[in-house]
Chain A
Amino acid sequence: MSFSFLDMIILAVLCLFGIGIYALLTMRNLIRIIVALQLLVKSVILFVILAGNITGQMALAQSMAATVIVADTIVAVLGMALAVQIKRKTHSLDTKDIAGLRR
């Protein structure tokens, strides 16, 4: 079976998505979760650009990808600020230790 470029990009998207989701499910450190989110969003950006390429509407796809990059960067920045504050307040970055609202 011959792999075209399309197949390889789809494979890349699926693999990166899968790695990101696996990390979100199993990692306990908040910073690692932020890294996993970044990987997840990279796969999505790749997929949007691929869709733009296939349908020929590259400009639309590029502006959408730009929006996604901005949003994801903001999420990462605020996530890190929150992680720093959590570390200051509860002295731990473990997801089990910060579930403090549960009675």
Chain B
Amino acid sequence: MKNAQSILILFVILFPWLGAIIIVAFRQNKEKGQHWLASAISLLTALAAWLLLFFNNTLIISIPLGGIFGNIEFVSDGLAILLVIIATSIGSLAILFSTSYMKGESQLSRYYSLILLFIGSMTGLVLSSNIFYLFVFWEMTAFCSYALISFYNDDPKAVRGGMKAFIITQLGGIGLLIGIMMIYADINTLSIPEILQSAATLPTLTLQIAGFGFLVAAAAKSAQVPLHTWLPDAMEAPTPISALIHAATMVNAGVYLLVRFYPTFKAVPGWNMTIIIIACLTSLLAAIMASVAFDLKRVLAYSTISQLGYMVYAIGVGGLFSSQFHLLSHAIFKTLLFLSAGAIIHSLGTRDMRLMGGLNKKMPFIRNVFIIGSLSLSGIPFLSGFWSKESVLEHGLEHGPLWAYTIMLITAGLTAYYTIRCVWMVFFGESRSHMQPHKISSMMKTTLTPLALGSLTTWLLAGPLSKFLQSSMPFHHFHTYSFWEPFLSVLTNPYTYLTLAVIVVAIFGFFRVKKMKGLIHEVRGIIGFAEKGLGFDELNKVFVTPTLWLAEGLRYTQTGILNWNIFGILLGLLFLISAVLLGGI
């Protein structure tokens, strides 16, 4: 039994990489072969991930690499398996969607190999039990994200978006590395269970620096304020990539990092409060920016940032199970929304919502699944988004400060507002342009259906999920619920109805907005400011511009001439020999 489980764990990580190599090596001119090869590889990986559910024990695989490299360790506990299943299943759905979305594009081998490389790195990140290799996989996902954002590399906007995403997530990587080094210097181990066990013995300074370092890394990766500006610009990527990487998997890596190390840092003074402040600010600001954006994918990007704020808020108040439950339902409905947005953009050829409208009759299937996704996002009862969002808010009310709960409540209302604005502008009303959509291919419909069904039904898994998470993770404290308990507790909580009331007010507010022209004229200045990203872009230019300038300047040292390269090597040799002579290495 043990052997099969370890083979499955290694399979889930290595098979996508093998697939990536195969796709690049057997680069064919036949497009169909590449589509089907990539789909087959990702489906097999997803199957292996689902099979991992059936093993009852958490297994630690340790592969010694000798000497300073330590051991590569993988552990398959509840948290890891949840994220592995999400990553591989949504990955395979995104690849299936791409077989129809990317029909006729060039350089498909590069596209598919990068997606498969990303899936393998993501599963390696969550399964990793050695913190240094977690960092290695973290960097690999950052690279794949950059390469896929700038996939259309003759479009300067895409390249700029990719560079920005790379630089900002690398800043987070520095925070992670500093945290790792501080911890290693004190307890001389890189293995995560050992770190979690000896949390109490670490000196306070180490815990503080490491805690905030990890927080910076998580904020950069999960697009929290002020490091959130890369995510809207990353929408230049092809839409299946936006669905996979920037909605369902990579941005969850930051949340995963915080949850994984929560027992170590929860006692650090100020850590919890910082998380709550960042999360509330993020959710509110992102919801405001989503309410005024006109690009369909940008609205969804801001929505993602806002919902990630919910997950981080849940961690800050100690509701680890709520955050994972919201992660699960968010992954499903956000992918659904992104992929249907992709179908709309593909058939109309534009991303601007001001040019859409009246698609109600012309694209009935997409309208249905998009509405299911939006209902789930807004928190309308009996869809999975409702249960998970209420769970987060409830936990926040019990354990967190009241002002934070109020902000999150207002954000829930704003979420409903911008969602219905989006749905209305795209589907209803008069057609604002003369664009005719063409038919949706059956592959797109096949991919969207399981996601819609998931949005409708995933909430049933809440109880078993909580038991699964608690039973396999000894250091964390997850609340466990029986099957009906979460739903009963949500329904009997009076504050749930408060949230519903806010949502209803927001929806009515949208329909009355035309009557409030006077008010809108007053806040016109703020709306213009919000459209430009509330000034955060200017702040980020402070980081991005000097880095690019320095990189351009240093390019003069790379002459490309063999003799100068040899000169560099010899200088290194001189330095090494002097070090040996002077210090005795």
15 A-B residue pairings within 8 Å (CB atoms) = A21-B570, A25-B563, A25-B570, A27-B563, A28-B563, A95-B561, A95-B562, A95-B563, A96-B561, A99-B559, A100-B560, A101-B560, A102-B558, A102-B559, A102-B560
**Residues in chain A near residue B516, CB distance under 8 A:** none
Return A79 CB to nearest CB of chain B, in Å.
Answer: 12
Residue A33 is within 8 A (CB to CB) of chain B in the complex = yes
**Could you say which of A21, A25, A99 contacts B560, with CB atoms under 8 Å apart?**
A99
Q: How large is the interface on A (under 10, 10 to 19, 20 to 34, 35 or more residues)?
A: 10 to 19
**Residues in chain B near residue A27, CB distance under 8 A:** 563
**Residues in chain B near residue A96, CB distance under 8 A:** 561
Residue among B560, B562, B570 with most chain A CB within 10 A:
B562
Instruction: Tell whether, in the assembled complex, residue B560 and residue A24 are in contact, meaning their CB atoms are under 8 Å apart.
Output: no
Cα–Cα, bound, A69→B4 (Å) = 45
Query: Hey, what's the 0/1 contact readout for B538-566 against A, CB within 8 Å counting as 1?
Result: 00000000000000000000111111001
Residue B575 is within 8 A (CB to CB) of chain A in the complex = no
Query: Hey, what's the 0/1 contact readout for B374-394 against A, CB within 8 Å counting as 1?
Result: 000000000000000000000
Residue B403 is within 8 A (CB to CB) of chain A in the complex = no
Residue A26 is within 8 A (CB to CB) of chain B in the complex = yes
Residue B484 is within 8 A (CB to CB) of chain A in the complex = no
**Residues in chain A near residue B570, CB distance under 8 A:** 21, 25
Instruction: Tell whether, in the assembled complex, residue A25 and residue B567 are in contact, meaning their CB atoms are under 8 Å apart.
Output: yes
Return B287 CB to nearest CB of chain A, in Å.
Answer: 43
Return A7 CB to nearest CB of chain B, in Å.
Answer: 20
**Residues in chain B near residue A26, CB distance under 8 A:** 563
Return B436 CB to nearest CB of chain A, in Å.
Answer: 43
Q: Which of A5-31 contact B (CB under 8 A)?
A: 21, 24-28
**Residues in chain A near residue B560, CB distance under 8 A:** 99-102
Return A4 CB to nearest CB of chain B, in Å.
Answer: 24
**Could you say which of A25, A28, A99, A100 contacts B566, with CB atoms under 8 Å apart?**
A25
Instruction: Tell whether, in the assembled complex, residue B559 and residue A33 are in contact, meaning their CB atoms are under 8 Å apart.
Output: no
Return B464 CB to nearest CB of chain A, in Å.
Answer: 56
Interface size on B, residues (CB 8 A): 9
Q: Which residue of B lies closest to A28 (CB)?
A: B563
- Please report B residues at the A interface, Cβ cutoff 8 Å: 558-563, 566-567, 570
Q: Which residue of B lies closest to A100 (CB)?
A: B560
**Residues in chain A near residue B561, CB distance under 8 A:** 95-96, 99
Return B246 CB to nearest CB of chain A, in Å.
Answer: 30
Query: Hey, what's the 0/1 contact readout for A63-103 against B, CB within 8 Å counting as 1?
Result: 00000000000000000000000000000000110011110
Cα–Cα, bound, A102→B557 (Å) = 11
Return A67 CB to nearest CB of chain B, in Å.
Answer: 21
**Residues in chain B near residue A102, CB distance under 8 A:** 558-560
**Residues in chain B near residue A28, CB distance under 8 A:** 563
Q: Which residue of B lies closest to A95 (CB)?
A: B562
Cα–Cα, bound, A28→B562 (Å) = 9
**Residues in chain B near residue A101, CB distance under 8 A:** 560
Return A93 CB to nearest CB of chain B, in Å.
Answer: 11
Cα–Cα, bound, A95→B560 (Å) = 9
Return B159 CB to nearest CB of chain A, in Å.
Answer: 14
Return A16 CB to nearest CB of chain B, in Å.
Answer: 16
Cα–Cα, bound, A28→B559 (Å) = 15
**Residues in chain A near residue B567, CB distance under 8 A:** 25
Cα–Cα, bound, A50→B558 (Å) = 38
Return A83 CB to nearest CB of chain B, in Å.
Answer: 12
Cα–Cα, bound, A95→B567 (Å) = 14
Return B267 CB to nearest CB of chain A, in Å.
Answer: 52
Q: Which residue of B lies closest to A96 (CB)?
A: B561
Cα–Cα, bound, A21→B567 (Å) = 9
Instruction: Tell whether, in the assembled complex, residue B566 and residue A24 are in contact, meaning their CB atoms are under 8 Å apart.
Output: yes
Return A41 CB to nearest CB of chain B, in Å.
Answer: 15
Cα–Cα, bound, A53→B558 (Å) = 43
Return B158 CB to nearest CB of chain A, in Å.
Answer: 19
Q: Which residue of B lies closest to A36 (CB)?
A: B566
**Residues in chain A near residue B559, CB distance under 8 A:** 99, 102
Instruction: Tell whether, in the assembled complex, residue A33 and residue B558 are in contact, meaning their CB atoms are under 8 Å apart.
Output: no
Return B556 CB to nearest CB of chain A, in Å.
Answer: 10
Known: A21-B570, A25-B566. 13 other contacts (CB 8 A): A24-B563, A24-B566, A25-B567, A27-B563, A28-B563, A33-B562, A95-B561, A95-B562, A96-B561, A99-B559, A99-B561, A100-B560, A102-B560
Return B305 CB to nearest CB of chain A, in Å.
Answer: 36
Q: Which residue of B lies closest to A102 (CB)?
A: B560
**Residues in chain B near residue A95, CB distance under 8 A:** 561-563
Return A30 CB to nearest CB of chain B, in Å.
Answer: 8
Cα–Cα, bound, A21→B570 (Å) = 9
Cα–Cα, bound, A99→B562 (Å) = 8
Q: Which residue of A lies closest to B562 (CB)?
A: A95
Query: Hey, what's the 0/1 contact readout for A31-49 against B, CB within 8 Å counting as 1?
Result: 0010000000000000000
Cα–Cα, bound, A47→B559 (Å) = 34
Cα–Cα, bound, A48→B558 (Å) = 34
Cα–Cα, bound, A96→B563 (Å) = 9
Cα–Cα, bound, A28→B566 (Å) = 12
**Residues in chain A near residue B558, CB distance under 8 A:** 102
Cα–Cα, bound, A102→B567 (Å) = 18
Cα–Cα, bound, A24→B560 (Å) = 15
Cα–Cα, bound, A33→B566 (Å) = 11
**Residues in chain B near residue A100, CB distance under 8 A:** 560
Q: Which residue of A lies closest to B558 (CB)?
A: A102
Cα–Cα, bound, A28→B560 (Å) = 13
**Residues in chain B near residue A99, CB distance under 8 A:** 559-562
